[in-house]
Structure 1
Amino acid sequence: MEEWTSVFLDLCHDLQRRGFVSGSGGNVSFRFGDRLLITPSGRNLGAIRERDLIFLNRDGSWEGEGRPSKEWRMHLRCYCRDDVSVVIHVHSSYAVALSCLDLPDSDCAMAVYTPGYAIQVGNLPLLPYMVPGSEELADRVASVIDGRNSVLLANHGILAVGSSPERALNVVEEIEENARLHFILDGRGRPLGEEERKALSLLYR
């Protein structure tokens, strides 16, 4: 437990240090049996210490000095899959900028430019804006995460899940980098084609 608490704090601090969150934005959770370890509400991820962490129960009750992130419902719902052990929600700049555009295809928020993004993410769905912390948002996110590992939230940010902190973070990084390329290329890039993506999926399945 002590080791995983250290990993949890290192991840939170790293997300803030790398600019994936600002202010008190963003939240992280780890699964521990029937409970979640989750970040507290209203705290900068870079300033969180062990005494600030919250244990969240399946019924929505919690243990700790503060309150769980207001997105606790969204986190709980993402653990409907047995293979999910980590949930990361961040407000990284390029991904949020992308989510604020009037995108033509909500099933695929941006073109797939790199092999890494194709393998880790693929066609990234965009959900319409919903109030952060709401039951509506939790339900919609859970319906997407039931079949994939990431989703883009309009005017809000990224949510990614994984079987480990490294895997969930890899997804976050790939989305943010592909979003950066989206703006650098400004519509002039050549995305990977279906045959190229199919070859990757066969190679890495």
Structure 2
Amino acid sequence: MLYPTERANLAKITKNIYQRYGTNAAGGNISVRLNDEHIIMTPTLMSQNHLCDLSPYQILVVDMNEMIVEGDGRLTREINMHMACYRQNRKIGCVLHGHARESMVFASMGIDMPNLTEATQKFGEIPCLPFAPACSPELAEIVSEHVKQLDNDVLSKVMLLNKHGVLVLEESLNKANDMLERLEYNAYIAYKSMIFNKLGITNDTLHEEQAYAFNLEE
């Protein structure tokens, strides 16, 4: 079997993401660039049919022409969005798309997510991209154009897909999983904070213009 260690790790992390509400039975997909020839990727219907409990052989090995080299399953139609990211920036090593529970509040409303926690400051802005139907060439193009504008020196990038979910770009699968967790905690805090602000519950000693020396390292 090709890439047994990498495929086993992707299967393990995919299951963990599902169990921690990083995606749901409606979908989600994850890919990892291994080299200039191959990526590995979760199969279509991984959530609906398998509850993200996959064997390593169900993780597909795919070439850069979007052809399956090895694996038991079919390619998701969202392969076009993943490949658009890889083709746009060679530094991207993992593309993680999920329907994360807390972040879906902002994605479903079509609004940017406030970036409030120290652990997410490396993201910069957390934008909600313009709407396009899931799996469509239009959505892949919107994502590609956004990736083109990103700071290439900072790979920890996340974005919301309007009405659809989240997209995390990182240099490795483990880091992408880490960033999804950070995003979800920030989403929970952000919408609670918005409710507090509406209720007039504030800390008068803190001001938005105050400069904080955030730790942006790992």
1:112 CA drift (Å): 2.2
2:43 equivalent among 40, 44, 61: 40
2:191 aligns with 183
**What TM-score do the two structures reach when normalised by structure 1?**
0.85
The C-alpha deviation readout for 1:4-37, integer Å capped at 9, x for no partner, is 1221111111111111112151100011222110
The 1:169/1:194 distance shift into structure 2, 3 A limit, reads: farther
SS in 1 for 2:92: coil
Task: Check conservation: 1:52, 1:66, Cα contact below 8 A.
Answer: yes
2:67 equivalent among 49, 54, 61: 61
2:79 aligns with 72
1:11 aligns with 13
1:194 CA drift (Å): 5.8
**2:214 partner letter:** L
Q: How many residues align?
A: 197
1:156 equivalent among 164, 176, 179: 164
CA distance in 2, matches of 1:192, 1:169: 32
Alignment of 1:1-205 (within 5 A): 1-33=3-35, 34-44=37-47, 46-63=52-69, 64-80=71-87, 81-101=89-109, 103=111, 109-119=112-122, 121-146=123-148, 147=150, 149-185=157-193, 186=195, 188=197, 193=208, 196=211, 199-200=213-214, 204=217
SS in 2 for 1:93: coil
Task: Check conservation: 1:152, 1:159, Cα contact below 8 A.
Answer: yes
Task: Check conservation: 2:131, 2:161, Cα contact below 8 A.
Answer: yes
CA distance in 2, matches of 1:196, 1:101: 29
After superposing on structure 2, the runs of 4+ consecutive aligned residues of structure 1 that deviate more than 3 Å are 189-195
Q: Tell me the percent identity.
A: 23
Task: Check conservation: 2:104, 2:164, Cα contact below 8 A.
Answer: yes
The 1:193/1:67 distance shift into structure 2, 3 A limit, reads: same
1:128 CA drift (Å): 2.1
CA distance in 2, matches of 1:87, 1:165: 8
SS in 2 for 1:94: coil
1:89 CA drift (Å): 0.6
1:83 CA drift (Å): 1.6
Listed as ranges, the gaps of 5+ residues in structure 1 are 104-108
* RMSD of Structure 2 on Structure 1 (CA): 2.3
Listed as ranges, the gaps of 5+ residues in structure 2 are 152-156
The structure that has the greater radius of gyration is 2
1:106 aligns with none
